[in-house]
């Protein structure tokens, strides 16, 4: 049980038995005590004034005295107007530290949630490599999945590959026309980068053809629809859906190049998946469900043959679900995928990690499934996140507008190397070990910087600022961990916590450790890793303040030294476990 939960239980019991006031945990307003006053927690007593028929100050005095008498949890109190500041007993903090040890999350208990959640993230297109937006998507989705697992949920990590559609055919038609048989092996390029090259080539040819048509007197809007290479791509899509063997063979070949490239990027990014879905397999299921919806009157067909749903009564608009030529749209595929997910796993929640530009799309998807009467409809949740920007000129882009994920990861590695060498922190390490350290630091900087921000906020990512051994960064926390591990290599921490009363600096460290369960629950409930990132940062800061004031290895008193070693080990292990939920590894030495 967390300190706040224990205190709530004591206050509820005290109010009931001593004052005949029945209340619940939700009714009590308990806060962390303002650092300007002594205490650990503060009870706001204004809601008790009417029942106790006293002034706020008198109410606080009465309740404070009663709490101190009931058991050994509350050691002392002070009153500031209508606020009752409570200081927990030193013996309680020692007992709590012993209970937590290397796993503060054990204070939550181990009761499973009995809820199955699928978290879908990444969802790349097979016409280009992963970019900066995918980096935030993957890190956010993977971390949310791990956090939900830590909070007792059964989690399936899913990746829906967008492997069909007109954009895929654009890369294919460009390679067919301009590729001259080029392959990843012959070009020395990663497969996803090679296919992306032809997506860019399509765009260049398309623009040239549009310009030629406009010069011939055709309006630009009409020219964009008549460009020969676009018409060829549209024809290829129709042939693809009709099962044309030559188109399917080319599609499979180019997709295999892209998948190999994706897996290399995923491995370096440190993300994985339990289940892959492919839109090429789910769009037909979506078509079947749309046919069912037409019979039920959920959808309607326009004179041109296209199929729509009218959501104007729901405050939205009309939405296309099937084109007039019978080919599917994104919504068709998402309808089919949602059905398949539930059929396979019986999930209670389906979390879609997708940028906020798709907010409308997922409102529509949820409404469609509700109108179709699907049992999983209410569990559809769009984890919407903001765009990521970089300072101009910091990164190159393969396409001129999008920052490539592989380039970004390499830049982080190189930045970590430069920063580490500048600080002279490479003594005694071999080339291979150094390379591993640079990679660990660089990826920690990237992940922490991305995950410490509320997902819904648009963010500016600066690679240089993200790697700072003294700033609000992942490497700063890694350094704190390595500092503790270095100390513990010189002397071993005891298995049990010595029963001595902690000083205020030690209490502050224990208090921060005890806040980890609340941070996890906030992260889990909000599908937001940032509470854990901020907890880790505060934990590192708190420990460094303590360590700078009380150098552990210089402590002469054996009991105090043993207590501080136990405390330091608890900090290190809880930092390692928490950073692990963010996908961040920790070095044993730096």
Per-residue pLDDT at 125 exceeds 80: yes
* CATH of 121-273 given 3.50.50.60, 3.40.50.620, 3.20.20.140, 1.10.1200.10: 3.40.50.620
Whole-angstrom distance, CA of residue 590 vs CA of residue 577: 19
- Looking at the DSSP assignment, which residues form a beta bridge with residue 86? 41, 77
Q: Which of 388, 306, 383, 378 is nearest to 348 (CA)?
A: 378
C-alpha dist (Å) from residue 90 to 99, 506, 552, 560, 565:
14, 10, 20, 14, 18
Comma-separated ranges of CATH 3.40.50.620 domains in the chain:
121-273
Comma-separated ranges of CATH 3.30.1360.70 domains in the chain:
3-88
Three-state SS annotation for 559-576: HHHHHHHHHHHHHHHHHH
Cα torsion at 152, 156, 162, 164 (round to 10°)?
Answer: -150
* CATH of 3-88 given 1.10.4190.10, 2.60.40.1080, 3.30.1360.70, 1.10.357.10: 3.30.1360.70
* Look-up of token digits 């020395």: 188
Residues 127-162 pLDDT 10s: 999 988 899 999 999 999 999 999 999 999 999 999
Per-residue pLDDT at 397 exceeds 50: no
Residues 475-505 pLDDT 10s: 999 999 999 999 999 998 999 888 889 999 9
* Cα 263 → chain centroid: 20
Q: Which of 469, 477, 442, 527 is nearest to 269 (CA)?
A: 442
161: left (phi over 0), alpha (psi -120 to 50) or beta: beta
Question: Residue 398's pLDDT band (boundaries 50, 70, 90)?
Answer: very low
Whole-angstrom distance, CA of residue 88 vs CA of residue 64: 12
- Looking at the DSSP assignment, which residues form a beta bridge with residue 459? 388
Q: Which of 156, 119, 162, 353 is nearest to 274 (CA)?
A: 156
C-alpha dist (Å) from residue 276 to 120, 136, 156, 157, 286:
9, 19, 11, 9, 17
Whole-angstrom distance, CA of residue 234 vs CA of residue 224: 13
- Looking at the DSSP assignment, which residues form a beta bridge with residue 349? 117
Please state whether beta strands 349-355 and 116-120 pair in parallel, antiparallel, or not at all (unpaired): parallel
Exposed, middle or buried: residue 167 (CB in 10 Å: 0-12, 13-18, 19+)?
A: middle
Backbone phi, then psi, for 532, in 5-degree steps? -75, -35
Residues 12-67 pLDDT 10s: 999 999 999 999 988 899 999 998 899 999 999 999 999 999 999 999 999 999 99
* Look-up of token digits 């799309």: 361
Coil, strand, or helix at residue 323?
Answer: coil
Q: Which of 160, 155, 165 is nearest to 122 (CA)?
A: 160
Whole-angstrom distance, CA of residue 355 vs CA of residue 365: 15
- In terms of pTM, does the model score above 0.95? no
**The domain at 406-581 falls in which architecture?**
Orthogonal Bundle (1.10)
Per-residue pLDDT at 457: 92
């Amino acid at each position: 049980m967390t300190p706040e939960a224990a205190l709530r239980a004591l206050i509820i019991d005290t109010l009931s038995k001593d004052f005949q006031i029945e209340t619940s945990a939700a009714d009590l307003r308990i806060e962390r005590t303002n650092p300007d006053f002594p205490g650990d927690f503060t009870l706001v007593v204004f809601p008790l004034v009417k029942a106790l028929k006293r002034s706020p100050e008198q109410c606080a005095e009465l309740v404070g005295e009663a709490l101190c008498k009931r058991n050994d949890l509350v050691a002392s109190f002070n009153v500031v107007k209508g606020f009752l500041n409570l200081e927990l007993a030193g013996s309680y903090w020692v007992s709590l530290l012993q209970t937590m040890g290397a796993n503060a999350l054990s204070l939550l208990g181990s009761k499973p949630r009995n809820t199955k959640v699928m978290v879908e993230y990444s969802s790349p297109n097979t016409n280009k490599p992963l970019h900066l937006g995918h980096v935030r998507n993957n890190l956010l989705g993977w971390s949310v999945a791990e956090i939900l697992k830590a909070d007792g949920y059964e989690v399936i990590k899913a990746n829906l590959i967008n492997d069909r559609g007109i954009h895929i055919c654009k890369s294919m038609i460009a390679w067919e026309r301009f590729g001259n048989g080029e392959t990843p092996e012959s070009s020395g390029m990663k497969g996803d980068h090679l296919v992306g090259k032809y997506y860019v080539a399509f765009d260049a040819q398309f623009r040239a053809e549009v310009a030629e048509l406009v010069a011939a007197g055709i309006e630009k809007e009409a020219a964009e629809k008549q460009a020969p290479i676009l018409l060829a791509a549209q024809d290829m899509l129709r042939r693809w859906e009709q099962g044309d063997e030559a188109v399917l063979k080319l599609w499979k070949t180019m997709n295999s190049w892209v998948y190999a490239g994706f897996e290399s990027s995923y491995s370096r990014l440190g993300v994985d998946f339990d289940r892959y879905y492919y839109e090429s397999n789910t769009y037909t299921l979506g078509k079947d469900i749309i046919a069912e919806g037409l019979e039920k009157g959920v959808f309607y067909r326009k004179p041109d043959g296209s199929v729509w749903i009218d959501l104007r009564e729901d405050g939205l608009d009309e939405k296309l679900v099937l084109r007039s030529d019978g080919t599917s749209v994104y919504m068709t595929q998402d309808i089919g995928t949602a059905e398949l997910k539930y059929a396979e796993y019986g999930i209670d929640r389906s979390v879609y990690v997708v940028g906020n530009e798709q907010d409308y799309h997922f409102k529509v998807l949820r409404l469609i499934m509700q109108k179709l009467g699907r049992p999983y409809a209410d569990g559809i949740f769009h984890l919407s996140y903001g765009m990521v920007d970089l300072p101009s000129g910091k990164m190159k882009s393969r396409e001129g507008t999008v920052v490539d994920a592989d380039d970004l990861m390499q830049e982080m590695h190189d930045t970590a190397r430069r920063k580490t060498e500048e600080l002279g922190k490479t003594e005694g390490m071999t080339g291979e070990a150094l390379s591993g350290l640079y990679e660990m630091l660089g990826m920690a900087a990237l992940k922490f910087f991305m995950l410490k921000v509320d997902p819904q906020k648009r963010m500016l990512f600066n690679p240089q600022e993200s790697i700072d051994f003294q700033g609000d960064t992942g490497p700063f926390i890694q350094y704190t961990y390595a500092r503790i591990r270095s100390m513990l290599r010189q002397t071993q921490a005891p298995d049990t916590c010595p029963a001595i009363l902690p000083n205020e600096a030690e209490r502050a460290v224990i208090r921060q450790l005890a806040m980890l369960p609340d941070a996890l629950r906030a992260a889990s409930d909000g599908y937001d890793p940032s509470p854990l990132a901020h907890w880790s940062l505060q934990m590192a800061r708190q420990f460094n303040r303590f360590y700078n004031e009380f150098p552990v290895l210089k402590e002469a008193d054996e009991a105090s030294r043993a207590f501080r070693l136990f405390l330091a080990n608890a900090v290190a292990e809880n930092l390692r476990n928490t950073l692990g939920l963010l996908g961040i590894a920790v070095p044993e030495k730096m």
